[in-house]
Amino acid sequence: KAYYTLDETERETLKRERRRLQEQLRRVKRNEARYNQ
């Protein structure tokens, strides 16, 4: 977790990536819930 070695743009990119992955996970969970009903 060496954040201090990253510059601002890299940190922003990582944050965006993580957010996008979280969104995908939420979507998948929602779809599974719909199928399980």
pLDDT tens-digit readout, 7-32: 889 989 999 999 999 999 999 999 99
Token couple for 20: 């996008």
pTM value?
0.59
Query: CA gyration radius for the chain?
Result: 15
State in Å, rounded, how far the first CA of the chain is from the last one.
Answer: 40
pLDDT of 20: 98
pLDDT of 36 reads 85
3 versus 36: the higher-pLDDT residue is 36
* Domain ranges within the chain, ordered by starting residue: 3-36
